[in-house]
Structure 1
């Protein structure tokens, strides 16, 4: 197993073998590092082109990794004694977080050792540290968290953002979210020309807050150069529909919608299990429909769409659910791997830079160039 003192990667974010390197914060999740390492093992078995830098207590991680054959020769342990807990305040973590596994995981991306970082930890702290260490992309006022929402579209998912990076968003912020969300759908889901909608209380143009009406004009004007189609206002019922590929909203509304959807899916699953176990005939019907029920369970399983992507930073961060088990962690790592392989970060930076007002593109850091964004 490689150590922390092994030679540096040959290219940013790639190991000496040419594999894509994912930086993983092993601490901070509700289920502990065992679930995180198990998820890494699942990802390694499914993706020969992946390897890891994993951050946390060295002795503990060495024991866990040694039990996972798929990680042999593909996992570097980066010692980090400190842990960011779910109760820690982001401001405290920013001041005193150096030496924690979360800080260390982000640093691997900042230094170019890894392409993407994955963490199950405290969302507020992860965003705060990511903004401090990676900085915002030129032209971005507010980063956003994007999630995947199961839908009737051919790709199987819609993109929704922001789902909790910041509770506020004015019209220019919503325009940036539209550009970033379209780039994510294009490079992460393979949607050639994403359809973008603004989440509102109705589809009529006269409805909604003032910033939504202003954002509508900005997004519609940017559609052609941004490489997307603007479909107008969308409602909550459109989130899983085939009408739209990218749903844009502020973090307050998006987070409530996300948590409501997750809770509803869980409730419906419980109702279905109760109904199928309510009597002998129901149990027989469940047995006969077992194959269909398993396919349904897999399709609506929230663990398999786990992973919110931080957009608008000089580096890609994937936030896994804090309660994620091995399957959920593997899904978040799989998403990170697909984004890294697509060149998503460089293309996103180029897209945002191309839309930035004159004189703003050099404000924070440099934007990478890309052909298809």
Structure 2
């Protein structure tokens, strides 16, 4: 049985969307149990079927306005803190929240803890590509803006294992976001990142294909896109914004094109729906904070029931994939090998 701890009070549409999403996910997976942390009265009022869904009462909640570290330390009975403690204590396999990103990162680092050998966890997102349904994985998408070389090395490893174990991509292609594809492009920091990743590729640790420009991301040029948190967050928001802009432009164009345009849109309804679905990044189920002892998944703050259900599906997928165990075993072997080599 896979158990997910849910911060049911986090998000713009909490707790309605979280409870409804939990029921949808529960119906999808017969070996899934969900623990809903939050205000008992509110959760009970929303819950229609308690089969494999348990309410865990809490008396506090952390809002977007709260300073994350202070709030986590001061509101010990908040829904997100208690959900994190359930994961830490082994009562749940993964943590899911659509609430404060800062608070989620704090509980992830301070309570659930890092995997030994990982200095800074990376926020990982899966984004759509034009010619397949798998998409590509980007790490880091905003957790660590001032990434060092060791962070990038670890992100390449985490991203590769994630693509292989969770996304089921064989021998995933790893690319580094840069302002050009040539090896000497970028500032000194990115040139050093490139050279280090080349070495990892030569050692057989990853399948590094070189620098990639962000304009090619949606073409599926790489399976795993490695970057520092600053560049990754900029690329992520630009990609999301572009996808939404294109869809909105199509809708506006159809509405303002008169009868002929509307008739044409009617004939193209299925292809247009397919395009909209393919470019919908929310179907991949939020972002994952990779590098922690257990999976931590961040849903969009404006998550609807369907979007939150996708987050829970994603958490279930990661928890049942053996991803965390595989990374721990690899890093342990790497550490032992390194110590032996140094001796």
Q: Which TM class, normalised by the smaller chain length?
A: over 0.9
Equivalent pair of 1:172/1:215 in contact (CA under 8 Å): no
1:108 Cα offset (Å): 1.4
1:124 Cα offset (Å): 1.1
Q: Tell me the equivalent position of 2:311.
A: 332
Q: Tell me the equivalent position of 1:55.
A: 37
Match of 1:144 among 93, 97, 122: 122
Question: Given the superposition, is the C-alpha separation of residues 224 and 97 from structure 1 closer, same or farther in structure 2, using an over 3 Å criterion?
Answer: farther
Match of 1:314 among 276, 279, 293: 293
Q: Tell me the equivalent position of 1:89.
A: 67
Q: Tell me the equivalent position of 2:12.
A: 30
Question: Given the superposition, is the C-alpha separation of residues 99 and 336 from structure 1 closer, same or farther in structure 2, using an over 3 Å criterion?
Answer: same
Match of 2:282 among 298, 303, 306: 303
Q: Tell me the equivalent position of 1:107.
A: 85
Question: Given the superposition, is the C-alpha separation of residues 211 and 153 from structure 1 closer, same or farther in structure 2, using an over 3 Å criterion?
Answer: farther
Is 1:354 the counterpart of 2:330? The answer is no
1:306 Cα offset (Å): 3.2
Is 1:39 the counterpart of 2:21? The answer is yes
Q: Report SS of the residue matched to 1:214.
A: helix
Equivalent pair of 1:109/1:115 in contact (CA under 8 Å): yes
Question: Given the superposition, is the C-alpha separation of residues 208 and 314 from structure 1 closer, same or farther in structure 2, using an over 3 Å criterion?
Answer: same
Greater fraction helix = 2
- Extract unaligned runs of 5+ from structure 1: 1-18, 360-373
Equivalent pair of 1:180/1:352 in contact (CA under 8 Å): no
Report 1:4-19 matches (<5 A). Answer: 19=1
* CA distance in structure 2 between the aligned counterparts of 1:312 and 1:205, rounded to whole angstroms: 28
Equivalent pair of 2:146/2:228 in contact (CA under 8 Å): yes
Q: Report SS of the residue matched to 1:240.
A: helix
Equivalent pair of 2:156/2:206 in contact (CA under 8 Å): no
Match of 1:251 among 213, 229, 243: 229
Match of 2:272 among 280, 287, 293: 293
Question: Given the superposition, is the C-alpha separation of residues 226 and 346 from structure 1 closer, same or farther in structure 2, using an over 3 Å criterion?
Answer: farther
Q: Report SS of the residue matched to 2:61.
A: coil
Match of 1:198 among 166, 176, 198: 176
Per-residue CA distance 1:329-354 (angstroms, 9 max, x = gap): 01111111111111111112223333
RMSD: 1.7
Q: Tell me the equivalent position of 1:8.
A: none
* CA distance in structure 2 between the aligned counterparts of 1:307 and 1:233, rounded to whole angstroms: 26
* CA distance in structure 1 between the aligned counterparts of 2:200 and 2:43, rounded to whole angstroms: 48
Q: Report SS of the residue matched to 2:175.
A: strand
1:224 Cα offset (Å): 5.9
Per-residue CA distance 1:189-228 (angstroms, 9 max, x = gap): 1012111111111111111122222222322222366653
* TM-score normalised by the chain length of structure 2: 0.93
* CA distance in structure 2 between the aligned counterparts of 1:204 and 1:267, rounded to whole angstroms: 30
* CA distance in structure 1 between the aligned counterparts of 2:328 and 2:71, rounded to whole angstroms: 27
Q: Tell me the equivalent position of 1:6.
A: none
- Extract unaligned runs of 5+ from structure 2: none
